[in-house]
Each structure stands twice: as structure tokens, then as C-alpha cells.
């Protein structure tokens, strides 16, 4: 299969089960909602070392938020409910509550929940009070700028992590130009995030390492500088490989995001240095979700 001269490898992206939540951050202005959202998604690119993966999903209009203020939707993914319950309240406390004029609300409502204000209320040192509205409990925590309003819990749902595709290009400059456009398009798909910085991975990994203390290491088969030393997947003209990794709430959302992203990549074509699109998998041994590139592009 070729699209605009770009070869689509006959392979699949292998993804795995995760747990996910969504929170809504509001503030006096969109600028300050962004301040909090950008802080909370810091060091949240991969569960390999960060414990959690998170990113901004989209901007919210005042009519879409619980308090009628500008807001940001942030989604966070982890391997278990325990991991989400550990990392989400900590990040909200250190990155959202500390940002001037913010509030934080649940963005997913389900029977399975993790703590938000339920644990953060203790920062109020006994002066905090709660309010129940439409069976949802909110905590009013006194802080120096006024009050930090935080919903008691947020819902969690089953999700999928690790949808991906590889962009094999002439140079990093060619590959990055295409990937930037792909990430812009993917951000319009609801229910997905691209958690790595700028949505693009420059150091894609494989599972395992020759060093026993490492769970992941460089994917040497796709490293251009190692063509003569290893069994390489790269032909002579390919000088750079970049990866886009997608976490999503459903298989459909990841399917849609991958299809839209790959089509944007292919618009550049071979004349603009894009030669192949491939994907990362481990023979089906890593996860039960397999996104076959050629099938999703049909």
C-alpha cells in the first residue's frame, strides 16, 4: 500500500489495557487554566518512568465547565487504579491548587473513582468545608488567593495505551514537519492524547535491555546511526525515525486518531522526505489491542 508515494508497512501497532481519568481545570482566564494544565502534564510522557501519562485534551468554553469559567480538559492514564490514585491527587495538589484562581472538577463520572478533593481538603487545616450539589460533593479549601474548589472524586474507566505509528523520513527536519501537522490533527479527535513532548517521540523504545535493571531501551533496529552494526529495518535513504504514541478511551478513538494522523503524514509525500509509515509491536506479546495500519486506512 502506498499513499502519495509513502509506503504503508504491512504491520500493526500493539497497545495494552490502561485505566484513565479526565479532570477539568478552570480559572479566572484561559491563560491561568493553561498554566495549571501545562504544569500537571509535566513529566507525564510515559509510565515507564513517570508512573502516569497525561496531556491536555482540549480547551473548554465557559458553558462547558461546572463553574462557567474558561477551562482545560486534561486526561491521565496509568497501568492501574492504584497508580492513578497515587499520582493524580498529588499532581492536582502541587500543580493545580498552587495556580492562582483555579478550580478542579471531575471530567468522567463513573462508579469507580479516585480521590481529588477527598485527600486535598486536609490542606485546609480544618477550615475546609464541603457542599453537595446534585449528589456531587465539592470541597472549598481556603487559600491565600481566596478559595480552591475541588470535586471530591473523579471517575476512572478502562482505556487503551500505546497506539502508535512510526514516521520514516529523510531527515529529522522532514519527519518533524510532518509529525507536527499530524499531532495538530490528532488533537481534534475526542478521547485521545499524545503524551510525549509536543506529541512526538524522538527516542522510541523496545521492551527489555541487555542491562537487567532496565525495562526498556533504544529500538536499535530503527536507529539510523546503527545501520551497519545491527539488523536494521531502515533502508539507505532513511535518516530519521519519529514516533507518535496515542492513548485513548476506546479502540475507535485510537483507530480514528491513527488514521487521521497517518493521512496527514502522507500528505507530505516522498518529495518532502517522507518515505514510509510503520508501527511498533512485539509480535502480539505486549498487549491485546492490534491496530493494523493498512486496515484502518482502507
Q: How far apart are CA 121 and CA 142, in angstroms?
A: 9
Q: Please compute Rg for the chain using Cα positions.
A: 21
Q: How far apart are CA 22 and CA 156, in angstroms?
A: 8
In what helix (H) or strand (E) does residue 59 lie, and over which residues does it extend?
strand 53-60
* % the chain with pLDDT above 90: 97
For residue 127, what pLDDT is reported?
Answer: 98
For residue 284, what pLDDT is reported?
Answer: 85
Outline where the chain has alpha helix (H): 30-40, 81-91, 117-120, 172-186, 251-268, 293-297
pLDDT confidence band for 283 (50 / 70 / 90): confident
pLDDT greater than 90 at residue 250? yes
Helices then strands, counting H and E runs in the chain, come out as 6, 17
pLDDT confidence band for 113 (50 / 70 / 90): very high
DSSP state at residue 271: G
pLDDT confidence band for 286 (50 / 70 / 90): confident
pLDDT confidence band for 207 (50 / 70 / 90): confident
- Closest alpha carbon to 116 in 70, 75, 151, 80: 151
Set of cell numbers at residue 35: 498554566
Helix, strand, or coil (residue 231): coil
Q: How far apart are CA 100 and CA 35, in angstroms?
A: 9
pLDDT confidence band for 285 (50 / 70 / 90): confident
pLDDT greater than 90 at residue 213? yes
- Closest alpha carbon to 51 in 215, 198, 272: 215
For residue 151, what pLDDT is reported?
Answer: 98
Q: What is the mean pLDDT of residues 109-138?
A: 96
Handedness of CA 124, 86, 109, 247 (dihedral sign): positive
- Summarize pLDDT for 11-67 with one digit per residue, the tens: 999 999 999 999 999 999 999 999 999 999 999 999 999 999 999 999 999 999 999
- Summarize pLDDT for 65-104 with one digit per residue, the tens: 999 999 999 999 999 999 999 999 999 999 999 999 999 9
Handedness of CA 52, 219, 296, 167 (dihedral sign): positive
Q: Which domains does the chain have, with CATH numbers?
A: 2-15+159-297 (3.30.70.520), 18-156 (3.30.70.520)
Q: How far apart are CA 53 and CA 41, in angstroms?
A: 8
Q: How far apart are CA 191 and CA 159, in angstroms?
A: 10
Give the phi and the psi of residue 210 in degrees, each rounded to 5: -70, -15
Amino acid at each position: 500500500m502506498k499513499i502519495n508515494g509513502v509506503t504503508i508497512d504491512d504491520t500493526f501497532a500493539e497497545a495494552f489495557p490502561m485505566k484513565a481519568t479526565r479532570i477539568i481545570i478552570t480559572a479566572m482566564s484561559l491563560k491561568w487554566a493553561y498554566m495549571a494544565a501545562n504544569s500537571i502534564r509535566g513529566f507525564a510522557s510515559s509510565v515507564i518512568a513517570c508512573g502516569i501519562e497525561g496531556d491536555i485534551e482540549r480547551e473548554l468554553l465557559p458553558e462547558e465547565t461546572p463553574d462557567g469559567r474558561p477551562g482545560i480538559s486534561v486526561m491521565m492514564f496509568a497501568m492501574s487504579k492504584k497508580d492513578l490514585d497515587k499520582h493524580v491527587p498529588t499532581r492536582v495538589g502541587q500543580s493545580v491548587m498552587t495556580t492562582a484562581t483555579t478550580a478542579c472538577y471531575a471530567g468522567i463520572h463513573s462508579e469507580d473513582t479516585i480521590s481529588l478533593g477527598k485527600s486535598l481538603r486536609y490542606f485546609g487545616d480544618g477550615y475546609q468545608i464541603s457542599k453537595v450539589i446534585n449528589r456531587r460533593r465539592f470541597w472549598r479549601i481556603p487559600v491565600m488567593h481566596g478559595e480552591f474548589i475541588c470535586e471530591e472524586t473523579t471517575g476512572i474507566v478502562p482505556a487503551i495505551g500505546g497506539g502508535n505509528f512510526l514516521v520514516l523520513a529523510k531527515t529529522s527536519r522532514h519527519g518533524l514537519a510532518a509529525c507536527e501537522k499530524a499531532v495538530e490533527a490528532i488533537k481534534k479527535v475526542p478521547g485521545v492524547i499524545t503524551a510525549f513532548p509536543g506529541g512526538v517521540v524522538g527516542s522510541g523504545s523496545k521492551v527489555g535491555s541487555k542491562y537487567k535493571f532496565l525495562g526498556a531501551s533504544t529500538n536499535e533496529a530503527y536507529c539510523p546511526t546503527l545501520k551497519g552494526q545491527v539488523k536494521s529495518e531502515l533502508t539507505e535513504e532513511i535518516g530519521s525515525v519519529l514516533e507518535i504514541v496515542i492513548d485513548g478511551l476506546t479502540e475507535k478513538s485510537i483507530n480514528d486518531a491513527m488514521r487521521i494522523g497517518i493521512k496527514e503524514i502522507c500528505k507530505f509525500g516522498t518529495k518532502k522526505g517522507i518515505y514510509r509509515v510503520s508501527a511498533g509491536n512485539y509480535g502480539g506479546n505486549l498487549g491485546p489491542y492490534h491496530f493494523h495500519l493498512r486496515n484502518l486506512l482502507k
